């Protein structure tokens, strides 16, 4: 198949990784894939274009896809994209954000060719009900890809989409996520942060903003550590609200000796994950797929996840980790349980790694996605006959 992915943002944001993984997996299956996105702004290095080139994804900047300057760029983009679809044998236009969905959907219809339009649901809580989303999903999409059972059900109930038009496909990790971290790197990371072998380190990986609920984590840690003094915490990430959401509460709870803040890590990120004895996940980020949690699972780390959104689907209670019910008391209970039982940590971590290897593989996602494309193509041909 010939597939064009549209992504109307140049920045390396939450949905960027899932989009690149989709393109990468489809290319590895032998499909002709092009990712169209805006060129990076100025000298910014962390752009989707930079990562796309590093991962061998075919890239195009022939459309502006500028969602910040809609009035100036949308009509020329629509004309260019319509001409492109008329003169290139494309089978699929896969869109990811509302701006590129609008352009791609209209261009596909105006091209008068049987091009199938697919939209990915990257939202943490799926699409909000409203006129624009309803029109995009029912009029300008032949199919929708989502990552969770809850979102799939919501799309069918709130937007009236037929079951065959919504595909629930597990989010994927690249093959590098399953490469074991050397024991020397894991130990070096723990030593760097001053964690002893007999201490249990629970990690949080996030872009620290107010919605991330860090006050819940820190309150639970303060409570749990009274029962399980071996508990420590490693926080990986950064954010504009670090002072209010992380640093101030650490001081207020008196957790300075117990919590280490690693900041943003690149080359040593996976070693930091491996240095943890478990991960706590409070709420999914902007891409909605809980990527950091899935990466920790791929490395065999047990998870303590909040009972929100798709998190209980990814982390099965009592099998790959523990689930808490959005309170500090319940989170503290789970922390103590995990800290006090090394055998349980080992069993849950092994099951987490098996689940990740089975469900989060790039090749499995690509096969499911290509199958969905083919089914929506057949349906479009039949409806046009």
- pLDDT (mean) for 104-108: 97
> What pLDDT does residue 12 have?
84
* Distance (Å, whole) CA 305 – CA 283: 8
Q: How confident is the model at residue 80 (pLDDT cuts 50, 70, 90)?
A: very high
> What pLDDT does residue 45 have?
65
- Residue 3's H or E segment, with its range, is strand 2-6
Q: What is the pLDDT of residues 158-196, one digit of tens each?
A: 999 999 999 999 999 988 899 999 999 999 999 999 999
* Distance (Å, whole) CA 161 – CA 1: 25
| 385 pLDDT above the threshold of 60 | no
For residue 143, give every residue at least 6 positions away whose Cβ sits within 8 Å of its Cβ, in sequence order, or none: 116, 117, 118, 119, 165, 166, 167, 372, 376
Q: What is the pLDDT of residues 199-230, one digit of tens each?
A: 999 999 988 878 788 999 999 999 999 999 99
- Residue 207's H or E segment, with its range, is none
| 66 pLDDT above the threshold of 90 | no
Q: Residues 276, 304: contact at Cβ < 8 Å?
A: no
| 260 pLDDT above the threshold of 80 | yes
- pLDDT (mean) for 70-91: 90
* Distance (Å, whole) CA 117 – CA 128: 20
* Distance (Å, whole) CA 195 – CA 199: 6
> What pLDDT does residue 384 have?
62
> What pLDDT does residue 28 have?
94
* Distance (Å, whole) CA 309 – CA 333: 21
- pLDDT (mean) for 310-339: 96
Q: Residues 258, 270: contact at Cβ < 8 Å?
A: no
Q: What is the pLDDT of residues 118-139, one digit of tens each?
A: 999 998 889 999 999 999 999 9
The domains located in the chain, with CATH, are: 2-172+362-384 (3.40.50.2000), 177-359 (3.40.50.2000)
* Distance (Å, whole) CA 133 – CA 156: 13
Closest residue by Cα to residue 278 from 223, 216, 215, 331: 331
Structure tokens at 304: 């303590």
SS (H, E, C) 86-150: HHCCCCEEEECCHHHHHHHHHHHHHCCCCCEEEEECCCCCCCCCCHHHHHHHHHCCCEEEECCHH
Instruction: Give whole-number Cα distances, 190 to 63, 186, 260, in Å.
Output: 47, 6, 11
Closest residue by Cα to residue 125 from 353, 284, 330, 299: 284
């Amino acid at each position: 198949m010939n597939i064009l992915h549209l992504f109307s943002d140049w920045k390396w944001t939450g949905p960027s990784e899932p989009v690149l993984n989709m393109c990468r997996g489809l290319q590895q299956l032998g499909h002709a894939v092009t990712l169209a996105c805006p060129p990076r702004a100025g000298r910014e290095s962390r752009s989707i274009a930079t990562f796309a080139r590093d991962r061998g994804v075919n890239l195009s900047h022939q459309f502006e896809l500028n969602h910040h300057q809609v009035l100036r760029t949308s009509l020329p983009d629509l004309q260019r994209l319509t001409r492109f679809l008329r003169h290139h044998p494309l089978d699929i236009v896969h869109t990811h954000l509302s701006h590129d969905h609008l352009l791609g959907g209209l261009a596909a219809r105006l091209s008068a060719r049987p091009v199938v339009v697919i939209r990915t649901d990257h939202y943490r809580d799926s699409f909000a009900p409203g006129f624009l989303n309803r029109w995009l999903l029912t009029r300008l999409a032949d199919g929708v890809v989502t990552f969770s059972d809850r979102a799939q059900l919501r799309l069918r109930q709130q937007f009236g989409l037929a079951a065959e038009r919504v595909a629930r496909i597990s989010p994927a990790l690249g093959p590098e996520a399953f490469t074991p971290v050397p024991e020397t790197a894991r130990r070096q990371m723990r030593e760097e942060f001053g964690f002893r072998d007999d201490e249990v380190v629970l990690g949080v990986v996030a872009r620290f903003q107010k919605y991330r609920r860090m006050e819940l984590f820190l309150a639970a840690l303060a409570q749990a550590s009274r029962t399980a003094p071996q508990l420590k915490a490693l926080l990986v990430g950064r954010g504009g609200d670090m002072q209010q959401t992380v640093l101030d509460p650490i001081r207020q709870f008196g957790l300075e000796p117990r919590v280490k803040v690693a900041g943003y890590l690149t080359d040593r990120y996976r070693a930091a994950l491996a240095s943890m004895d478990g991960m706590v996940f409070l709420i999914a980020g902007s891409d909605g797929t809980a990527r950091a949690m899935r990466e920790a699972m791929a490395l065999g780390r047990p998870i303590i996840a909040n009972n929100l959104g798709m998190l209980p689907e990814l982390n099965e209670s009592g099998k790959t980790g523990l689930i808490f019910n959005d309170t500090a008391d319940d989170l503290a209970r789970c922390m103590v349980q995990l800290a006090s039982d090394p055998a349980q940590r080992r069993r849950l971590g092994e099951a987490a790694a098996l689940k990740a290897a089975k469900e989060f593989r790039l090749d499995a996602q690509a096969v499911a996605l290509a199958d969905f494309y083919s089914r929506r193509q057949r349906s479009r041909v039949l409806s046009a006959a």
